[in-house]
Each structure stands twice: as C-alpha cells, then as structure tokens.
Amino acid sequence: MRRVGVTVLGIFLVLVVSSGFLVRSYAQMTPLPPGHPPVGKGEPAPSIPGPPPGSGSGSQGLTWTTPSGWTRETPSSPMRRAQYRIPGPGGPGECAVFYFGPGQGGDAKANAARWAGQFREADGSPVGDAYKTREIKVGDVAVLLVEVTGTYVGGMGSEPVGEGRPNYMLLGAIADGPDAKWFFRVTGPRGTLEPQRAAFDRMIRSIKRG
C-alpha cells in the first residue's frame, strides 16, 4: 500500500509540474498582438524582449510636450517610454506611451481596431466599427488618431480580462517615429477625458523627431 501511495503521489507531482510547464510554454508560443500590450494590471509577458538598447532615442526618438496637470510616473514596463496620471472629476485616467523597437508594432489601423475591441456597447455587444480614426501630419510625422467610447473591458482583442467599466473613453495616437511606431494611449472615465481632449491634441501636435 505504501508503494502504491508513493506512486500515485509521484504521478500527481509529475502532472502538476507538467501543467506548469505547458502553461508557460503556451504563453511563450502565443505572443501578444504586435504593438498592443494587455491593459489593466497586466503588462507584456516577460518572454517578450524589450526594445534594443539605444533604439528610439536621440535622433531615432520622438519628443513632445506634457500637458499641464498631468503627473509623470515611473513607467511600469520596459515597453513604456512614458506614463502619466490624469486627474479629473470622473476619476483618474492614464496615458501610456509605448515603443516596441524597429520592425515591431504592426499596422496602425489594425492596432486601432484592437483598441476598439477592448470596448463594448451598453448592451454588451462589441463596438464594431463604431469608433473614430483620423489621419494627420505633425510636421513630417504621420499620425493616426483614435477615439473609442463605451464599456471598457480590457484584454487582448475581444477577450475581456475583468469587470466592465461603463462610460469609459480611449484617446489614442499612433505616430511614425524615425525607426518605429510610437503608441500614445489614454484611457479613463469619460467625465475625466472629455475635458482633456484638447490637452491630448496639443500633446500630439507637439511631437517632434529627435
């Protein structure tokens, strides 16, 4: 009986260890959509490397003017080049500036659609094409502006990761930097971000190369 018990315990431990290995392997084999890190508390998985050292800086970088009243925070991941807290009557919002390195980031319009996929209508249905995009030029920098409103569910694409937050807004901009795209992504309660719309627009229009 003792040997049988030890054998069963051994099989159980093997299964537990194997399950952990399979979960980690699956996470490594299913990378996040290019240019679209998960939102909320999660960040890109550790298996995704950060940008090469020196990329996106100096003559290969972008600069901009931070809106008054926005508080600069320490970026929560290597993928973030900047992070700000936005105060407002609806509760705090956040601005994150993502940079993934040369050859990374994916198509601007595809990323805009993924951002929209993190929102739902009041009845729980996807927002579909009910989001706004606009192409502008800031000097010689091409920018795609994105705006989405609805119930924010987060996650990758259309997969929610948490409880929905109604009456939320996303203001985004995807800018063609010298060596890769830069992703400016503002999310928060609509009551906070509506008054910040002009500030965000000024920030994007202040973008310069190098």
Here the CATH number for the domain that contains residue 195 is: 3.40.1000.10
What is the rounded average pLDDT of the residues 110-120? Answer: 95
Q: How far is CA 192 from the centre of its chain?
A: 19
* One domain, residues 20 and 58: no
What is the rounded average pLDDT of the residues 196-201? Answer: 97
On whether the CB atoms of residues 151 and 122 are closer than 8 A, the answer is yes
Range list of H helices, the chain:
2-29, 108-116, 190-193, 197-205
- What pLDDT, in 10s, does the model give residues 66-98? 999 999 999 998 899 999 999 999 999 999 999
The pLDDT-based confidence of 135 (bands split at 50, 70, 90) is: very high
Residue of 115, 176, 121 lying closest to 147 (CA atoms): 115
The reported pLDDT for the residue numbered 156 is 54
* One domain, residues 105 and 65: yes
Compute the distance between CA of residue 76 and CA of residue 89 in angstroms, rounded to an integer: 25
On whether the CB atoms of residues 192 and 88 are closer than 8 A, the answer is yes
* One domain, residues 136 and 64: yes
Residue ranges making up the domain that contains 26:
1-30
* One domain, residues 7 and 111: no
- What pLDDT, in 10s, does the model give residues 12-53? 333 333 334 333 333 333 344 444 444 443 444 444 567 878
* One domain, residues 100 and 135: yes
User: In the chain, how many domains are there?
Assistant: 2
* One domain, residues 58 and 25: no
* One domain, residues 21 and 66: no
* One domain, residues 16 and 96: no
The pLDDT-based confidence of 154 (bands split at 50, 70, 90) is: confident
